[in-house]
Structure 1
């Protein structure tokens, strides 16, 4: 870990998080057919990003004396996860939230730690359906459901 890079990244992400919070206040707080407005996700993301950035900045002050060690960047993993994220955003409406999120998480888990397929499948399925259930059924929000060709509600 590079102390200087982490500190500057923390400051940059803190600014981005604050910008998300401020700009989310300009979005309407209600949506047609939904009790959850369009501003909830950007506001939550901004708060989360800001809190994680503060934590990163705090951790940079706790680093021990840095040892000069050259890190090898893992471009292959980055490329796989970046491609999966782009495909996730592209196919979200067509495939639906649950299936596209499940596939994205499964690819991400297997990219970061190969093996443990059963654990990855269970966590990805529980998270993707759990978020869908909470947002759609508990909070009365709207998300793209299952694709029509599956015949599910």
Structure 2
């Protein structure tokens, strides 16, 4: 933990979160066919970023200064590139493959990159999350997400 970097990062994240909240208020409040407007996601993201930045700032101020020997962290570029590639492909193909299937595959790849094995747990969590978020957003909040791809013949 580098206290100076974390302190500056928390202030930067706080300002970015405030900018998200400020600018999201300029977006229209509803869109056609949806009770959840396009302003909700950036507003929520900004608020979450503000809360996390405040938490980071609190943690930095609470910890004692560590003047011990610094440990060198080995960066894992292979895992990082796999996750970034999966995220880019997920964003690119989201409209074509649909939210539920795309999110399931993305989460499954992510879980397996983070911790190999435990396929059953990964499949269960990825499917419950993707179906649960889709149901919550589309059915409960009456928003719109890309459904299932045509080739799956579902919905």
Q: TM-score range by the shorter chain?
A: over 0.9
**Partner Cα separation in structure 2 for residue 74 and residue 115 of structure 1:** 19
Match of 2:17 in 1: 17
Q: 1:104 aligns with which of 103, 106, 114?
A: 106
Cα displacement string for residues 93-151 of structure 1 (whole angstroms, at most 9, x for unaligned residues): 11111111111111111111222111111111111111100000001100000001111
Distance 2:54 2:100 in 1: 31
Distance 1:113 1:96 in 2: 26
TM-score normalised by L of structure 1? 0.93
Aligned equivalent of 2:53: 53
- Cα displacement (A) at 1:53: 1.3
Structure 1: distance between partners of 2:7 and 2:75? 19
The equivalent residue for 2:151 is: 149
Q: 1:45 to 1:146 in 2, by over 3 A?
A: same
Cα offset for 1:70? 1.5
Number of residue equivalences: 153
What is the CA deviation profile of residues 55-114 of structure 1, one whole-angstrom value per residue up to 9, with x for unaligned ones?
A: 111111233442311212222221111111111111111111111111111111111122
How far apart are the structure 2 equivalents of 1:140 and 1:22?
Answer: 25
Q: TM-score, normalised by structure 2?
A: 0.92
Equivalent residue, structure 1, for 2:122: 120
Q: Distance in 2 between matches of 1:98 and 1:121?
A: 13
The gaps in structure 1 that reach 5 residues or longer are: none
Gaps of 5+ in 2: none
